Amino acid sequence: MITLEVRRRELLTPGFASVTLGGPAVGDLTVAGNDQAVRLFFPREGQTRLRMPTLSNEAWIAQLMLVPKSARPWVRNLTIRRSRPEDEEIDIEFALHGDSPMSSWVRRAEPGDPAGIFDMGTMYRLPEHAEGQLLVGDESALPALLSILDSTPPSLPTEVYLEVADAADIRPLKTPAGVRIHWFSRDDADMRPGTLALEAVRRASLPSGRFFTWVAGESRLATTLRRHLVNDRGVPKQDISFFGYWRLGRSTPG
Ligand SMILES: Cc1cc2nc3c(=O)[nH]c(=O)nc-3n(C[C@H](O)[C@H](O)[C@H](O)COP(=O)(O)OP(=O)(O)OC[C@H]3O[C@@H](n4cnc5c(N)ncnc54)[C@H](O)[C@@H]3O)c2cc1C
């Protein structure tokens, strides 16, 4: 459990903001890149201080839930987008949506505000036998996907299917030579997030040879894509990593 403070906040596109957290405790964090996730603790509206759990084993969740709501921080899963150890800083990028606890905190976060993190480590593991990769995500997975691309070898053919809420959230990206990015935006269409990326992969010709798949986002995107790859495309289960980052209509507990 480490406590940091907000250093800066920057609106990247209308639907994305980056918050830079910093402090000497960044030195206690081993940043490995890729989809390295953290539990981010931040104060509820009106709270002036951050009461972090003190336990670092799994019991921290029970410890947190015993704290009355008036004193308990929010906790949400996020990805470390990048780090600058020399400046004792990390950046986290947030897909803003409505007035959720996370989006509201990002909008009100000011330099000096406290925020805490608990490192959850990385899940992305490119198998040695992979001759290519398929990366698929919605806006919640964009930060992780971009970090994975930061360390993708230029020689690895990579097809990326990225869905965001709005065309204004599509960013120009500098990517390694072998990477092809397919962007999709829902643009107010009444559809479940992840639908466009899922349908596009269903229609796509997949990378040739044995390839690795990493998919994350709204839970139906992750589970349906995996089922499609395994059942309809004959992809070995062990070549797919899939993660439900959030569930439509369900708030994160905590
Ligand atoms: C390992 C991991 C890494 C993650 N990394 C990031 C990250 O770097 N950046 C990021 O923005 N998110 C990331 N997420 C997703 C993020 O944790 C969830 O979106 C979380 O629900 C946001 O909390 P909230 O307070 O906004 O909404 P909640 O209180 O959890 O939910 C409120 C409502 O908003 C809906 N909702 C939740 N997320 C979204 C969304 N993205 N778009 C539209 N509706 C939504 C819920 O279905 C619910 O109806 C990650 C999740 C995991 C598991």
Q: Is 175 in the pocket of ligand 1 (CB under 6 A)?
A: no
pLDDT greater than 80 at residue 145: yes
pLDDT at 58: 82
d(CA 239, CA 133): 10
CB contact at 8 A, 39 and 215: no
pLDDT greater than 90 at residue 227: yes
- Average pLDDT in the chain: 96
CA-nearest of 157, 219, 156, 162 to 186 is 162
pLDDT tens profile 23-81: 999 999 999 999 999 999 999 999 989 999 998 788 999 999 999 999 999 999 999 99
Q: Is 212 in the pocket of ligand 1 (CB under 6 A)?
A: no
Closest atom, ligand 1, to C-alpha of 102: 25
CATH architecture of 2-121: Beta Barrel (2.40)
pLDDT at 44: 96
CB contact at 8 A, 135 and 145: yes
Q: Is 43 helix (H, G, I), strand (E, B) or coil?
A: coil
In percent, the amount of the chain with pLDDT more than 70 equals 100
pLDDT greater than 80 at residue 196: yes
Overall pTM > 0.75:
yes
Reported confidence tier of residue 177, pLDDT bands at 50, 70, 90: confident
CATH architecture of 132-246: 3-Layer(aba) Sandwich (3.40)
pLDDT at 147: 97
Burial environment of residue 176 by CB neighbours within 10 A (0 to 12, 13 to 18, 19 or more)? middle
- Ligand 1 centroid vs 87 CA: distance in angstroms? 28
Partners of 77 in the beta sheet? 39
- 132-246: same fold as 2-121? no
Return the residue whose CA atom lies nearest to atom 16 of ligand 1: 77
pLDDT at 56: 78
d(CA 254, CA 98): 18
Measured CA to CA in angstroms, residue 82 lies from 27, 144, 173, 203 at distances of 14, 10, 15, 33
- The radius of gyration of the chain from alpha carbons, rounded to an integer in Å, stands at 18
Ligand 1 pocket test, pick from 41, 142, 245 with the greatest ligand atom count within 8 Å of Cβ, gives 245
Q: Is 242 in the pocket of ligand 1 (CB under 6 A)?
A: no
pLDDT at 55: 85
Q: Is 172 in the pocket of ligand 1 (CB under 6 A)?
A: no
Domain residue extents for the chain: 2-121, 132-246
Return the residue whose CA atom lies nearest to atom 6 of ligand 1: 78
CB contact at 8 A, 72 and 44: yes
**Higher pLDDT among residues 58 and 224, named by residue:** 224
Q: What is the mean pLDDT of residues 151-162?
A: 96
Burial environment of residue 45 by CB neighbours within 10 A (0 to 12, 13 to 18, 19 or more)? exposed
pLDDT greater than 80 at residue 131: yes
Q: Is 237 in the pocket of ligand 1 (CB under 6 A)?
A: no
